[in-house]
Structure 1
Amino acid sequence: MQLFQLGTCLRSRKELYKCARSEVDRLSSSTGLNAGLVVEEHGLGYCLYSRAGKDLDSVVIEEGEEIPLHATAVGKAMLAEIPRKETEQILDQHGTDLFTEKTITNREELIDTLETIKNHRVAFEENEFHDNVRAIGIAITGKNDRLIGGLFVAGDSESLTGKQLHQNNPGLLISAKNRLGNPAQPPTKE
């Protein structure tokens, strides 16, 4: 049975990858920023696909890279979409390590931030995972609002500011998510 569940999970991730890849490319091309697709697995984020933008010389998160959820925009967006009990379990298991002086390490502050993100459906990262990098993340949900992944754009702190940070690029992420619709559903965890 576990082999079947693994196969189902891999198939749904492949479908998500196929559907989201063109959206990541579109986001990177239209914004000039790094863009990527991340999934949550065992309380960590894993980048399935990323594309460098013209704003930075290389991608911020490499394909296959494991990322902390609490310190990244896309990770916080995904944490905000899962039930509070699961969030607490993830934080118990992985902690809230410090990556930069701006990383939110206080659990209550992080929970408050996640509530705000849940209400606004968009997460921001202000130099929390990498110095001099800002990012915007959004969760991708499917049937019954189940988390299936997340999209992000990231750029240099000096150029990703004002309207680009708080209006234009969040709008582009929301549009990309809406175009994806319901690309894949993860298997039910038992």
Structure 2
Amino acid sequence: MNGDDKPRTIRAVERASRIIQALEDEGQLTLTEISNRLDVSKSTVHTYLHTLSQEGFIAKHNDSYRLSLRYLSLSEQVKNRIDIYEAAQYEIDVLAEKTNERAQFAKLEENSVIYIYRSKSENAIPTTLSIGQYVYPHSTAAGKSMLAYLPDHRVDEIIEANGLPKQTENTITDVDEFKADLRRVRELGYAIGDGERLRGIRCIATPIQTDSGRVLGSIGVSGPSRRMSDERIESELRDLLLQSANVIEVNAKFS
């Protein structure tokens, strides 16, 4: 295979994945709605739906289809295979309570950030992010906190794969500026997300690492910009966050 050639993909798997994604996005859809959405004939879609139903991945309710409850089991199995999940979950709950904000645990998978666990206080603002949702790493504090400690070639791969798409007026879209930001993260030990994915929201995040420097994930605290001032970050949030990260890293040694 030529180095420039992309690996071959299986069209049937791609279509099945698109159906599952459509049901994830919409909750439930009819055969006609799925056919129109995928621009595939009803007979073909019906075959896919029947197969996915037989394999337990979707369920039919009246004239509509939805994801099956099997995903609950799959979700639990995935979480149970994350060595630091329990320690991170506890510390995220502690952070949310102490800061009276929203706290979250995220990991880097392939070229995206995925949020694994989240906890919020009564005072916390709502979020547009769902557990399991993938987002660009360059526009989040969690993503930047992890990328800052990856090898340069891996950062380059992620930038090449994703680009640096603009999401708000604060999103860093210049490669040199972004890499300079990552250097600042390494100097400080934490990253700041300043409305780069969502206007009016600031976040502080720090990586979870092994003794050898391998990045296991990231924990962070988010809130409205007016509450997440530089002064509060320096005087309160930074130390709380770094303490929690240290606890998780210690637990990781014995998990």
Normalised-by-shorter TM-score class: 0.7 to 0.9
Aligned twin of 1:27: 95
Aligned counterparts, 1:131-150, within 5 A: 131-150=199-218
Offset at residue 11 of structure 1 (A): 7.5
Offset at residue 60 of structure 1 (A): 5.4
* Conserved 8 A contact 2:97-2:120: no
Aligned twin of 2:114: 46
The amino acid across from 2:159 in the alignment is L
Task: Return the TM-score normalized by structure 1.
Answer: 0.86
Match of 1:126 among 166, 177, 194: 194
Segments of structure 2 that go 5 or more residues without pairing to the other structure are: 1-77
Aligned partners of 1:60 and 1:169: how far apart in 2?
A: 22
Q: Which has the larger radius of gyration?
A: 2
Match of 1:63 among 103, 116, 131: 131
- Does the alignment pair 1:77 with 2:145? yes
Query: Per the alignment, do residues 60 and 122 of structure 1 end up closer, same or farther by CA in structure 2, a change over 3 Å counting?
Result: farther
Aligned twin of 2:35: none
Query: Per the alignment, do residues 47 and 61 of structure 1 end up closer, same or farther by CA in structure 2, a change over 3 Å counting?
Result: same
Offset at residue 181 of structure 1 (A): 2.2
The amino acid across from 1:146 in the alignment is R
Aligned partners of 2:100 and 2:128: how far apart in 1?
A: 13
Aligned counterparts, 1:92-171, within 5 A: 92-171=160-239
What secondary structure does 1:153 align onto? strand
Aligned twin of 1:18: 86
Aligned partners of 1:116 and 1:57: how far apart in 2?
A: 28
Aligned twin of 1:3: none
Q: Which moved more, 1:158-167 or 1:20-29?
A: 158-167
* Conserved 8 A contact 1:33-1:53: yes
Query: Per the alignment, do residues 171 and 143 of structure 1 end up closer, same or farther by CA in structure 2, a change over 3 Å counting?
Result: same
Task: Return the TM-score normalized by structure 2.
Answer: 0.65
- Does the alignment pair 1:89 with 2:157? yes
The runs of 4+ residues in structure 1 deviating greater than 2 Å are: 10-15, 52-57, 59-62, 181-185
* Conserved 8 A contact 2:125-2:224: no
* Conserved 8 A contact 1:51-1:59: no
Q: Write out per-residue CA displacement over residues 133-168 of structure 1, whole angstroms, 9 at most, x where no aligned residue.
A: 000010000131100000010000111113212331
Q: Cα RMSD over matched residues?
A: 1.9
**Which structure exhibits the higher relative contact order, with contacts defined as CA atoms closer than 8 Å and separated by 6 or more residues?**
1
